[in-house]
Chains A and B, each alone.
Chain A
């Protein structure tokens, strides 16, 4: 149980375009979803926390207008990277929890902005 999927698994886009990444909890209802970013050889950095039906809480230094998060249902959260630039290239990972203390992670989405 506790499976989290992400789509797409990787994406290449042109600079200036927007990219949407989906995170789904497949076999449970996620009250809270998290979005992380991971640079090569580095640990995960939390970008934002989102609860279903409410606005996401962004970590310090993360631009909310740049990284739009929507948590419209208990099984789906989306991260949209708006006007992507090469420095946004990274590995984005979501996780989900349902009130317990354990987060279950998606497989990640690799974004390359040309």
Chain B
């Protein structure tokens, strides 16, 4: 099984709706990254959460880290077509800043 499971696997929402993506780790989370990927492209760094209870926001995207639950959530408010893509969470998994990625969540936003 995967170290980092994301849910849902895919999501279709209407423009303007809010949505939440979850990332659950089978191991203790000391820090978590969120990235966005458009199909066939590289990853765009969204944010990094380092402390339990930490919450960060960038434009309409907010992410929280719940260390006790070994979980992070990414919330998008008033979604837009530009939010469409694959969202990946990742955690440090060893030396040299190795990152293990989650299973990914594909988001489609319908105008």
Q: Which residues of A contact B (CB under 8 A)?
A: 2, 4, 6, 32, 34, 42-44, 46, 49, 51, 57, 91, 93, 95, 97, 100-108, 110
Contact = CB atoms under 8 A, between A and B. Distances in A.
Contacts, number: 54
Interface stretch (B14-22, B39-47, B51-59, B69-77): B39-47
Contacts of A51: 96
B45 to A, nearest CB: 6
A105 B98 contact: no
Interface residues of B, number: 22
Contacts of A107: 41-42
**Which of A4, A42, A102 has the most chain B CB atoms inside 10 A of its CB?**
A102
Closest 6 CB pairs of A and B: A105-B43, A105-B42, A107-B42, A43-B101, A44-B101, A49-B96
A108 B100 CA distance: 18
Nearest to A50: B96
Given A4-B42, A91-B40, A101-B31, A34 B102 contact: no
Given A4-B42, A49-B96, A97-B97, 4 more contacts: A43-B101, A103-B45, A103-B97, A108-B42
A11 to B, nearest CB: 14
Contacts of B88: 43-44
Contacts of B48: 101-102
Contacts of B100: 46
A101 B95 CA distance: 11
Contact of A32 (B31, B43, B45, B96): B96
A108 B43 CA distance: 9
